Amino acid sequence: MPLGPRPVVRVDPRARILIVGQAPGTKVHASGTPWDDASGKRLRDWLGVTPEHFYDPAQFAIVPMGFCYPGRGTGGDNPPRPECAPLWHDRVLAELPNIRLTLLIGTYAQARYLGDRRKSTLGDTVRAWRDYVGDGYLPLVHPSPRNGIWLRKNPWFEAEVVPYLRAHVAQVSGVSAAG
């Protein structure tokens, strides 16, 4: 790990919503606060929650596939370190008995949690989101600004998935969606 180990994880047994993302970026590594960047701002908008609600440990648990910043690659950050999730996820999830909704953000989270049920591409998996919600999973594209092109090419995501997501988060958390 080029910047050294600094796990960025939020776990509380009271949490009802689990967010499984990729791995912290450099800004999050520096702050130690998960989703403390432009991606987090977009994610909170999609969820319809304020930062105060998002960072309430009784509401949201945040467990990335890689707990620490994995370094930079040619096309962006490197993938999460492959040993992290197999070593830690089952242990961490055992401490989260009240999870009612798991958001699977990106390919790595979807591969681990959906396994053979995921589709051939991330876009196809996210498009088939209704196939997974009965099991408590909601696959999402990463909210990174780098995915703006994908979002423009797939307007159904913000027209269909985001309203469902906001309503479901409000229902599960018991807090009305933020304006």
**Residue 67: its pLDDT value, please?**
92
Residue 179 has pLDDT above 60, yes or no: no
CA 49, 54, 59, 65 torsion-angle sign: positive
In angstroms, the CA 54 to CA 61 distance is 9
Residues facing residue 105 across a β-bridge: 140
Residue 49 has pLDDT above 80, yes or no: yes
Place 176 in a pLDDT band, splitting at 50, 70 and 90. Answer: low
**Residue 20: its pLDDT value, please?**
98
Please classify residue 23 by burial: count the beta carbons closer than 10 Å to its beta carbon, then call 0-12 exposed, 13-18 middle and 19+ buried: buried
pLDDT tens digits along 82-127: 999 999 999 999 999 999 999 999 999 999 999 999 999 999 999 9
pLDDT tens digits along 7-21: 889 999 999 999 999
In angstroms, the CA 170 to CA 175 distance is 5
Residue 80 has pLDDT above 90, yes or no: yes
pLDDT tens digits along 57-69: 999 999 999 999 8
pLDDT tens digits along 26-37: 888 888 899 999
**Residue 13: its pLDDT value, please?**
98
Residue 47, token pair as written in the block: 């969820």
In angstroms, the CA 36 to CA 52 distance is 12
Backbone angles phi, psi at 103, to 5 degrees: -90, 120
Name the strands in the sheet holding 137-140, side by side, starting at the edge strand that comes first in the sequence: 60-62, 17-20, 101-105, 137-140
pLDDT tens digits along 118-175: 999 999 999 999 999 999 999 999 999 999 999 999 999 999 999 999 999 999 988 7
The answer to whether 16 and 172 have CB atoms below 8 angstroms apart is yes
In angstroms, the CA 6 to CA 11 distance is 15
- The pTM score is 0.93
